[in-house]
Amino acid sequence: MRYGSVCSGIEAASVAWAPLGWRASFFSEIEPFPRAVLKHHFPAVPLHGDFTTIESNQYEPIDVLVGGTPCQSFSVAGLRGGLADGRGNLALEYLRLAQRTRPRWLVWENVPGVLSSNGGRDFGAILGGMVELGYGIAYRVLDAQFFGVAQRRRRVFVVGYLGDWRRAAAVLFERHSLSGDPSPRREAGKSVAGTLGGSSQSGGFRITDLDNSGAFIPVTGKTLLSFDHAANPLDENLISFADQVRRLTPRECERLQGFPDDYTLVPNRGKPAADGPRYKALGNSMAVPVMRWIGQRITTSERRHAT
C-alpha cells in the first residue's frame, strides 16, 4: 500500500504503518520543527509544504490519503457550491486533493469537537463532500487508552472507501461492536499502563487530555491543576506521584503517543531539539497504536477482496 500524508506533523501514520510494509509517496507539513523530524527520519520521502499546491500527478499514485486537518469552521455553502468553490478551508482542501489524486481509501482525523461544530453542520458537510466524490464512509470516536497507551485521547476517525461504504465500516467497526455493546471502561484511579513506571498512594495514575488541544493533563483520582495552554505551553506536561508534581519528560510524552524513545530528539538548527517544540509536536500528533490498528484493518480488507 502506498499513501500520501497531509498535515503530517511528525508522522504517526508512518511509524504505525511501516511494520505493515506500507510506503509513503509524499508528506506535507509547513511547521519547521515537524519538518526537521520528518527530514531526519524519512530523508527519502518527498516533503511538500502547503498541501493545497500538490498537483494530481506530482508524486507517485497513492492508495490512501491520510491527514488530520485543523478543525476550523467553514461555510456549508462552500460545499453546496461544489468542490470547485475556492472559499473552503483545509478540510475542503483535503477533499479537493482526494479529488485530484483519487486514492481508494481516505483516513481523516480530528478532535471530537468537530461533531458539534456549527451544530454538526460542519462535520456533515465534510462527510457530504466525501460522498460527493464517490466515497462510502464510516466514522467512529476512538480512544487511545484502549490501544495500549497510558492516556485517554479521544479522536474522531473517518474512513472512506471509493464506491463501497461496507469496506469503510468493516475497518472501523468490529463485528461485535455493531450489536451495540459499549466499549470497556476503567475505574478512576486504576493504572492504565506500565509505560512510565511507579504508582501513587491512591492506586496508580492515568493521563487524560483536553479534546480541543494537544495538552496532556495528569490526574490521580482528581484533576490536580488547570492551565492556560496558550500562556503556559510547557506547564501541561506534568505528572503526579503521591502528591509530588513534575513535568512529563519529552520521552514520556513520546511513550504516551506510542513513538519510540527519543523519536523527536533530532538535530534542529544545528543542535539537539529543545523540549518546547518536542512537547508541541507530540501533543499535536495522532496516537501511533490507533493508526496501526486502522492500517491493519485496511490491510485485512485489501487481502480479503484481492482478486
- Identify whether the C-beta of residue 71 lies closer than 8 Å to the C-beta of residue 124: no
- Which three cell numbers, joined as nine digits, stand for 111? 478532535
Specify the pLDDT at position 234: 40
pTM for the full predicted model: 0.78
Q: What CA–CA distance (Å, rounded) separates 20 from 300? A: 11
Of 71, 114, 196, 219, the catalytic one is: 71
The single-letter code of the amino acid at 65 is L
Total length of the chain: 307
The single-letter code of the amino acid at 112 is P
The angle that helices 275-283 and 250-257 make with each other, rounded to 10 degrees, is 20
Is-catalytic flag, 71? yes
Which segments within the chain are labelled E, that is strand? 2-6, 23-28, 47-48, 64-67, 105-110, 135-143, 154-162, 206-209, 216-220, 222-223, 238-241, 244-247, 267-268, 271-272
CB atoms within 10 A of CB 204: 21
Q: What CA–CA distance (Å, rounded) separates 306 from 38? A: 32
Q: What CA–CA distance (Å, rounded) separates 109 from 70? A: 9
Instruction: Give me the average pLDDT of each 10-residue run along the chain (307 residues).
Output: 97 98 98 97 97 95 94 43 49 94 97 86 91 97 95 95 96 72 43 28 32 38 32 46 79 96 95 95 96 98 89
Q: What CA–CA distance (Å, rounded) separates 261 from 259? A: 6
- Identify whether the C-beta of residue 31 lies closer than 8 Å to the C-beta of residue 306: no
List all residues 6 or more positions away from 67 whose beta carbon is below 8 Å from its beta carbon.
5, 6, 7, 8, 28, 51, 94, 107, 108, 109
- Identify whether the C-beta of residue 237 lies closer than 8 Å to the C-beta of residue 216: yes
Domain-wise residue ranges, the chain = 2-179+286-304
Q: What CA–CA distance (Å, rounded) separates 28 from 7? A: 6
Specify the pLDDT at position 90: 86
Q: What CA–CA distance (Å, rounded) separates 102 from 136? A: 13
Specify the pLDDT at position 242: 55
Specify the pLDDT at position 237: 53
Q: 2-179+286-304 belongs to which CATH class? A: alpha beta
Specify the pLDDT at position 227: 30
Specify the pLDDT at position 189: 34
